[in-house]
Chain A
Amino acid sequence: MSFWIDALSTGVVLGTPLAFAALGELIAERSGVVNLGVEGMMLVGAVVAFVVGVNSDSIALAFLAGALAGGALALVHAAMTITLRVNQIVMGLTLTILGTGLSSYIGADYGNRPLKHDLGNVDIPLLSHIPWIGRIFFRHDAVVYLAWVAVVVAALVMYRTRRGLWLRATGESPAAADAAGVPIFAVRYVAVWLGGVLAGIGGAYLSVVYVRSWSDQLTAGRGWIAVALVIFASWRPLLILPGALLFGFIDALNFQLQAKGVSIPSQYLAMMPYVFTLVVLAVVWTRQRSRNWGMPRALGSPYEREARS
């Protein structure tokens, strides 16, 4: 029993960076911009946060720096794809290469540096005393809860406010939104930037809280899983959370099973997130009449005000 509780509890922790990064990607994609640079932005966020964390001994400052670094990288993507209307897929892949190189360059001297401070666990009163559930969900560090709050806030903003309507309209039909007076270029810039900020926070969580050290390729493909998670959640913010918990749990299960010496090759579990996403895609796409299933209609296409539609 305690094996499963441990695995589930670690899954909640490992789902946190995924939730942040996927939420960011979701916001960007809802504005109509794909950013495949999540992996790169997470890596740069992770390394910058770690460097700041080591040198300043402040976890909050580390997270802030990681977020800003991710946001800065995202602004490159925004300028290239929104203003210059470069192909979003190509630019995103380039951003991942850039982020991978930059992070390895910045972190070259930080391989063995220790972090002094620790983010203590916060037990939520009452809830943390529920048998099993309390240990799985409510005895983590504050950033874990922050991820849940961020997801709920994003969902509320997206569906209950004017700005959220702007975001969704820009992603569905930029021409119509533009005609209605929505500042679509600003909306897209902010959405892509927010995507970078959240990816940076996700990366920072990995380096500063979870692993507490830096090594090249620290994120180990979690940025790509975040991209898959957005599709898995069918572009709905509230579905990010269960998806992140599921993918995080698979990740945790992998560790726990290795530690126990169970003879399942870890590669099978590592490919599960992608298999799940494929299965969900196949099942929903064959069942649903409307072929795009929550996918923003203008996703991937740059908006050119002068173009004839």
Chain B
Amino acid sequence: MSPSDRTRLGFSLSIAGGNARAAQYLGIGVGRRIIWVMALSGLLAGAAGVIQLTAASGRLQEGLTANYGFTGILVAFLARQRVVATVVVALLFAGLLNGGSALQSTGIPSSIAQIVQAVIIIFVLAGEVLGSYRLKARAPALRAAPPAPQAPVGAAEGSR
């Protein structure tokens, strides 16, 4: 489940997020938790910006984060809000983005990477839903076949 169910805090957050009213009845301060969690996630986002500036780009420029914030939302969603899975999905997306800029040197426009990224997400999202359905193959011959059991039933009735 979500953030961490191993600690009091993590569990109370899961409840507050899953059913705010139930959490209120349990005495969990939902509003206060939302404010703190928002501050915490802002802190992490800021840290991400610092890393991008100091480690990746090395200089301050406009559009420094290149919409990574929005990608971050998608990563969290695709990881279904599980902490470890977030890291894995984030690495996958980082590879996609970097691959895109590497493609540019071979003459393929880097916009392809964005398109591929979006298409992957769309297929994952659709696959999640479609995966919960099962296709049943039904032989068309069966439907067209004459109602076979009727005759024996009629015969049974006649014999009574």
Residues of A within 8 A of B (CB): 76, 80, 84-87, 89-91, 93-98, 100-102, 104-105, 108
What's the least CB distance linking A303 to chain B, in Å?
14
Cβ contacts under 8 Å, A91 to chain B = 122, 125
Cβ contacts under 8 Å, B112 to chain A = 101, 105
Closest 8 CB pairs of A and B: A101-B114, A98-B118, A104-B111, A101-B115, A105-B111, A84-B129, A97-B118, A101-B111
What's the least CB distance linking B108 to chain A, in Å?
10
Closest to B119 in A: A98
Cβ contacts under 8 Å, B126 to chain A = 80, 84, 86
Q: Which of B70, B71, B118, B129 is close to A86, meaning CB atoms less than 8 Å apart?
A: B129
The count of residues in chain B whose C-beta lies closer than 8 Å to any C-beta of chain A is 22
B121 on the interface (CB 8 Å rule)? yes
Cβ contacts under 8 Å, A97 to chain B = 67, 70-71, 74, 114, 117-118, 121
Residue interface mask B105-116, A partner, CB < 8 A = 1: 000010111110
Compute how far the CA of A91 lies from the CA of B118 in the bound complex, rounded to whole angstroms: 9
Compute how far the CA of A85 lies from the CA of B133 in the bound complex, rounded to whole angstroms: 13
B51 on the interface (CB 8 Å rule)? no
Q: List 17 A-B contacts (CB under 8 A).
A: A80-B122, A84-B125, A84-B129, A86-B128, A86-B129, A89-B73, A90-B125, A93-B74, A97-B71, A97-B114, A97-B118, A98-B118, A100-B111, A101-B113, A105-B111, A105-B112, A108-B111
Cβ contacts under 8 Å, A86 to chain B = 125-126, 128-129
Q: Are A104 and B118 in contact (CB under 8 A)?
A: no
Q: A80-B125, A91-B122, A105-B109 are in contact. List 7 more A-B contacts (CB 8 A).
A: A80-B126, A87-B125, A93-B74, A96-B70, A98-B114, A98-B118, A101-B115
- Classify the secondary structure of B's interface with A: helix
Q: Are A94 and B111 in contact (CB under 8 A)?
A: no
Q: Are B129 and A94 in contact (CB under 8 A)?
A: no
B130 on the interface (CB 8 Å rule)? yes
Q: Are A98 and B109 in contact (CB under 8 A)?
A: no
Cβ contacts under 8 Å, A84 to chain B = 125-126, 129-130
Compute how far the CA of A91 lies from the CA of B77 in the bound complex, rounded to whole angstroms: 10
Cβ contacts under 8 Å, B114 to chain A = 97-98, 100-101, 104
What's the least CB distance linking A175 to chain B, in Å?
20
Interface residues of B in 121-152 (CB under 8 A from A): 121-122, 125-126, 128-130
Compute how far the CA of A239 lies from the CA of B130 in the bound complex, rounded to whole angstroms: 40
Cβ contacts under 8 Å, B111 to chain A = 100-102, 104-105, 108
Q: Which of B67, B71, B113, B122 is close to A76, meaning CB atoms less than 8 Å apart?
A: B122
What's the least CB distance linking A87 to chain B, in Å?
6
Q: Are A105 and B74 in contact (CB under 8 A)?
A: no
Compute how far the CA of A96 lies from the CA of B117 in the bound complex, rounded to whole angstroms: 11
Compute how far the CA of A89 lies from the CA of B126 in the bound complex, rounded to whole angstroms: 14
Q: Are B115 and A105 in contact (CB under 8 A)?
A: yes
